[in-house]
Structure 1
Amino acid sequence: MSKQTKQLPKFKNEAAERTFWETRGKDSTEFLDWKKAQRAVLPNLKPSTKTISLRLPQHLLDALKAAANARDVSYQSLIKVWLQEKLHTH
Protein backbone atom coordinates (compact mmCIF):
# COMPACT_ATOMS: atom_id res chain seq x y z
CA MET A 1 0.00 0.00 0.00
CA SER A 2 1.43 3.34 -1.08
CA LYS A 3 1.01 6.32 1.25
CA GLN A 4 -0.41 9.62 -0.01
CA THR A 5 2.30 12.24 -0.57
CA LYS A 6 2.00 16.01 -0.28
CA GLN A 7 2.31 18.12 -3.40
CA LEU A 8 5.59 19.99 -3.77
CA PRO A 9 5.31 23.78 -3.76
CA LYS A 10 6.37 25.85 -6.76
CA PHE A 11 9.81 27.29 -6.10
CA LYS A 12 10.81 30.83 -7.07
CA ASN A 13 14.39 29.73 -7.76
CA GLU A 14 16.99 27.09 -6.94
CA ALA A 15 17.94 28.82 -3.69
CA ALA A 16 14.33 28.65 -2.49
CA GLU A 17 14.15 24.95 -3.33
CA ARG A 18 17.46 24.31 -1.55
CA THR A 19 16.18 26.10 1.57
CA PHE A 20 12.96 24.06 1.44
CA TRP A 21 14.80 20.74 1.37
CA GLU A 22 17.42 21.81 3.93
CA THR A 23 14.67 22.56 6.45
CA ARG A 24 13.04 19.14 5.97
CA GLY A 25 15.90 17.15 7.43
CA LYS A 26 16.75 13.87 5.73
CA ASP A 27 13.20 12.57 5.33
CA SER A 28 11.72 13.44 1.94
CA THR A 29 9.06 10.69 2.05
CA GLU A 30 6.39 13.24 2.98
CA PHE A 31 6.68 14.56 -0.60
CA LEU A 32 8.18 11.68 -2.59
CA ASP A 33 7.25 8.01 -2.88
CA TRP A 34 10.70 6.46 -3.29
CA LYS A 35 9.13 3.04 -3.98
CA LYS A 36 8.05 4.44 -7.37
CA ALA A 37 11.46 5.93 -8.16
CA GLN A 38 13.33 4.79 -11.26
CA ARG A 39 17.05 4.94 -11.81
CA ALA A 40 18.02 7.75 -14.21
CA VAL A 41 20.61 7.19 -16.91
CA LEU A 42 22.39 10.33 -18.15
CA PRO A 43 24.79 9.10 -20.83
CA ASN A 44 25.63 12.54 -22.25
CA LEU A 45 26.29 14.27 -18.95
CA LYS A 46 29.55 16.18 -19.18
CA PRO A 47 31.58 17.06 -16.11
CA SER A 48 31.45 20.75 -15.30
CA THR A 49 34.91 20.91 -13.81
CA LYS A 50 38.04 22.58 -15.12
CA THR A 51 41.56 21.48 -14.29
CA ILE A 52 43.80 24.23 -12.96
CA SER A 53 47.38 24.46 -11.82
CA LEU A 54 47.95 25.97 -8.40
CA ARG A 55 51.36 26.54 -6.86
CA LEU A 56 51.40 26.19 -3.07
CA PRO A 57 54.22 26.32 -0.55
CA GLN A 58 55.17 22.77 0.48
CA HIS A 59 54.23 23.38 4.13
CA LEU A 60 50.73 24.48 3.07
CA LEU A 61 50.27 21.43 0.85
CA ASP A 62 51.46 19.17 3.67
CA ALA A 63 48.98 20.79 6.07
CA LEU A 64 46.15 20.39 3.53
CA LYS A 65 47.00 16.72 3.04
CA ALA A 66 47.07 16.13 6.79
CA ALA A 67 43.70 17.88 7.27
CA ALA A 68 42.20 15.87 4.38
CA ASN A 69 43.60 12.61 5.72
CA ALA A 70 42.01 13.33 9.12
CA ARG A 71 38.65 13.73 7.32
CA ASP A 72 39.23 10.69 5.08
CA VAL A 73 38.91 12.72 1.86
CA SER A 74 41.35 13.70 -0.85
CA TYR A 75 43.13 17.00 -0.39
CA GLN A 76 41.73 18.21 -3.73
CA SER A 77 38.19 17.55 -2.49
CA LEU A 78 38.90 19.33 0.77
CA ILE A 79 40.24 22.37 -1.09
CA LYS A 80 37.05 22.48 -3.20
CA VAL A 81 34.83 22.25 -0.11
CA TRP A 82 36.76 24.97 1.73
CA LEU A 83 36.73 27.29 -1.30
CA GLN A 84 32.99 26.78 -1.73
CA GLU A 85 32.37 27.46 1.98
CA LYS A 86 34.49 30.61 1.88
CA LEU A 87 32.69 31.94 -1.19
CA HIS A 88 29.27 31.40 0.37
CA THR A 89 30.13 33.18 3.61
CA HIS A 90 30.74 36.50 1.83
Structure 2
Amino acid sequence: MSKPLKPVPRFASEAEERMYWEQHDSTEHLDWSQAQRVTLPNLKPTTKTISLRLPQHLLDSIKAAANSRDVPYQSLIKVWLQEKLHSQSQ
Protein backbone atom coordinates (compact mmCIF):
# COMPACT_ATOMS: atom_id res chain seq x y z
CA MET A 1 0.00 0.00 0.00
CA SER A 2 1.43 3.39 -0.95
CA LYS A 3 1.91 6.35 1.36
CA PRO A 4 -0.71 9.09 1.19
CA LEU A 5 0.38 12.06 -0.88
CA LYS A 6 1.06 15.44 0.68
CA PRO A 7 -0.90 18.37 -0.76
CA VAL A 8 1.08 20.83 -2.87
CA PRO A 9 1.43 24.02 -0.80
CA ARG A 10 0.40 27.47 -2.03
CA PHE A 11 3.29 29.79 -2.81
CA ALA A 12 3.39 33.58 -2.51
CA SER A 13 5.96 33.93 -5.30
CA GLU A 14 7.83 32.01 -7.94
CA ALA A 15 11.03 32.40 -5.90
CA GLU A 16 9.33 30.79 -2.88
CA GLU A 17 8.11 27.92 -5.04
CA ARG A 18 11.55 27.43 -6.56
CA MET A 19 13.12 27.26 -3.09
CA TYR A 20 10.52 24.74 -1.96
CA TRP A 21 11.07 22.36 -4.90
CA GLU A 22 14.85 22.61 -4.51
CA GLN A 23 14.46 21.16 -1.02
CA HIS A 24 11.56 18.69 -1.49
CA ASP A 25 10.96 15.60 -3.60
CA SER A 26 7.97 15.87 -5.93
CA THR A 27 7.12 12.19 -5.35
CA GLU A 28 5.89 13.18 -1.89
CA HIS A 29 3.17 15.22 -3.63
CA LEU A 30 2.50 13.58 -6.99
CA ASP A 31 1.80 10.04 -8.13
CA TRP A 32 4.06 9.92 -11.20
CA SER A 33 2.73 6.48 -12.14
CA GLN A 34 -0.48 8.28 -13.16
CA ALA A 35 1.37 10.83 -15.33
CA GLN A 36 0.53 11.03 -19.03
CA ARG A 37 2.72 12.19 -21.90
CA VAL A 38 1.77 15.53 -23.31
CA THR A 39 2.56 17.02 -26.70
CA LEU A 40 2.89 20.73 -27.26
CA PRO A 41 2.34 21.13 -31.00
CA ASN A 42 2.74 24.92 -31.07
CA LEU A 43 6.12 24.87 -29.34
CA LYS A 44 8.93 25.83 -31.69
CA PRO A 45 12.42 24.44 -31.20
CA THR A 46 14.94 26.91 -29.84
CA THR A 47 17.04 28.43 -32.58
CA LYS A 48 20.45 30.05 -32.45
CA THR A 49 21.66 32.67 -34.89
CA ILE A 50 25.04 31.89 -36.43
CA SER A 51 27.32 33.61 -38.89
CA LEU A 52 28.47 31.49 -41.81
CA ARG A 53 30.90 32.67 -44.45
CA LEU A 54 30.20 31.21 -47.89
CA PRO A 55 31.80 31.91 -51.24
CA GLN A 56 29.58 34.30 -53.23
CA HIS A 57 29.05 31.80 -56.05
CA LEU A 58 27.85 29.15 -53.56
CA LEU A 59 25.44 31.57 -51.91
CA ASP A 60 24.13 32.64 -55.32
CA SER A 61 23.55 29.00 -56.26
CA ILE A 62 21.73 28.31 -52.99
CA LYS A 63 19.54 31.38 -53.47
CA ALA A 64 18.72 30.31 -57.02
CA ALA A 65 17.78 26.81 -55.83
CA ALA A 66 15.62 28.29 -53.06
CA ASN A 67 13.96 30.69 -55.50
CA SER A 68 13.06 27.84 -57.85
CA ARG A 69 11.41 26.05 -54.87
CA ASP A 70 9.76 29.28 -53.67
CA VAL A 71 11.29 29.02 -50.18
CA PRO A 72 13.65 31.30 -48.26
CA TYR A 73 17.26 30.33 -48.83
CA GLN A 74 17.96 30.04 -45.07
CA SER A 75 15.12 27.52 -44.78
CA LEU A 76 16.50 25.52 -47.68
CA ILE A 77 19.93 25.44 -46.06
CA LYS A 78 18.35 24.11 -42.81
CA VAL A 79 16.45 21.41 -44.73
CA TRP A 80 19.58 20.33 -46.58
CA LEU A 81 21.64 20.22 -43.37
CA GLN A 82 18.95 18.15 -41.63
CA GLU A 83 18.72 15.73 -44.57
CA LYS A 84 22.50 15.31 -44.63
CA LEU A 85 22.66 14.64 -40.90
CA HIS A 86 19.81 12.14 -41.18
CA SER A 87 21.50 10.28 -44.04
CA GLN A 88 24.82 10.19 -42.12
CA SER A 89 23.19 8.61 -39.06
CA GLN A 90 21.69 5.69 -41.02
Q: TM-score, normalised by structure 2?
A: 0.49
Higher helix proportion, which one? 2
- Bigger Rg, structure 1 or 2: 2
Could you say which structure has the greater relative contact order, defined with CA pairs below 8 angstroms and 6 or more residues apart? 1
Q: Give the TM-score, by structure 1 length.
A: 0.49
